[in-house]
Structure 1
Amino acid sequence: MRTQHRNIFRWLLGITMAAASMAAHADNYPSRAITLVVPFAPGGPTDTIARNVAQHVSGTLGQPVLVDNRPGGGGQIAGSLVKQAKADGYTLFVGATEMFAINQTLFRQFSYNPLKDFVPVSAMVDTPMILVVAKDSKVTSVQELIALARSKPEGLTYASQGLGSIGHMLGQAMASRTGAKLIHVPYKGSAPALQDLVTGRVDMMFDVMMSSGPMIEGGKLKALAVASPRPFANLPGVPTMAKSGVEGVDGSVWFGVVAPVGTPGEAVTALNAAIVKAITSADLTKRFADQGMRPLPQSASQFGAMMKSEVDRWTPLVKASGAQVD
């Protein structure tokens, strides 16, 4: 009997000590450097956003926030690293719409489930896709573009940032909604696709303001419409796709942060507050606005709900496109 009581006492003491240790850990978070794992090479939009936010979060939390670039595999290299990391709030995954809502359907085999293997921490920013054509194109509106595509037996070509990218999915949606014949031409990123659009090798493209904006401002491209439910302040006078007569072709690229499943709620709360403070700061808000982005201040649970809705929205579009990557 005494042995049984002694074992129960030890068990209760162990639980008490573990709880105290967890509480102390939460109170001290963060006590060392935090790493943001980015699935792209340095210099791209995701990397730039991550580094801007990291600097602010570091100042708020009083610890270094480092960026670790792990490109490749549609986010699988970075995602797998974070998925296998200790769930303590010190290793986070920064990604975009593709990593969190598209690629798990696009790839035949994918190494993580964004909704099951991670906990949402915070959204950061989003930016709408713009339908653009070359400055020499004869079309000046979405309806003229549709009419031209219908008039040609071979249809029109549209460039994208790659197979399964949002640019690909929006072109697919536009073809489905309008009956226009649109032939997909995938590229490895926006830069080569825009080059061929400018020179007339392809007819149209959905792209983000960050990369196409300078070409629109420089007169090399014409913006026909914004693939967003509302007009875009950076492009006054450019209508939405819906206003142009094409419903259901909306798609913004959004960026967010997740952590390994099991990360303590206290750490998630602290990180969310620091990231929201960063993205709503005056200097970052202006910097983002100049690049065609807007902050998305959300709670962790709101971001989780957004991720779920985006997975539900993009999954049938990816399947309908027939696109798959081995």
Structure 2
Amino acid sequence: MKILNDLDAFAKTPTVVTIGTFDGVHIGHQKIIKRLLNTAEQGHLKSVILTFFPHPRMVLQKDAHIKLIHSIGERCQILDSLGLDYLFIKKFTHDFSRLSAKAFVKNILVDKLHARKVIIGYDHRFGRNRNADINDLRKFGEYYGFEVEEISSQDIDEVTVSSTKIRTALKEGNIEKANAYLGHSFMITGKVVKGKELGRQIMFPTANISVDETYKLIPKKGSYVVSSEMGGQLVYGMMNIGTNPTVEGKKESIEVHFFNFNKDLYHQNIQVNLLQRIRDEEKFESVDALKAQLLKDKAVSLQFIASQHA
């Protein structure tokens, strides 16, 4: 998959295009993408997803509190695994939001992406003030020579419901439910930074992960079974999201203890996949009590991991 930010670099080749945020690239999205890929294959076209970043609400509503299931980098990674030809990430700005529907269709879909077919939701709106809909797009298609295929209300509802259920499940700590709707493991990506090193003192050294993307949705505080790929090797561990109340921590942190792994990860970017939730975050009477609980958590984690390979 080629990722484009500038359409001047796009080859003059006929395409089939779908448009959307595709946050999570969950099972509902995957159904639409499969349709896109099948259409591309049958019509000898290149498959293209046109997405926008930053999220329009971040720009138009200054919504600093919006939380997305995946960072833009994680979204690219998942889309790449599905066999897409091109992902065009259009920078969303105030100027772009003022572009008329006709200008959007001609300048981007026709002149730049050479669309022969556009697959779009029945309720999709576009152009300045979002004043154009799928019926307008069909008229543009007749004029400019591309076909419009509608994504049904049932499929769009599936996308909306899945996204809502995933966000709710993550906020509630129900990682199994979130993963079932995603069709893959929820992930957290970030840089390993220096922490207080309390874990090292109690024989549970941790990698402290700093997530740069403030819009990334972080699940409910607590402990989770996780996995990560390190140099081509799958490594398991357990992760805590929280403030470390036992030692009077104030700031929320994300810390991972990997099993049978002792390499230096400082300043490296790592991706952690959340597999199952173990428990809520607790404040223990002492550090020794915390260590005793961590030993129990490790046993639960190893039992879960063994069950996945049984």
Superposition TM-score, scaled by structure 2 size: 0.27
Higher relative contact order (CA 8 A, sep 6+): 1
* Structure having the larger proportion of residues in helix: 1
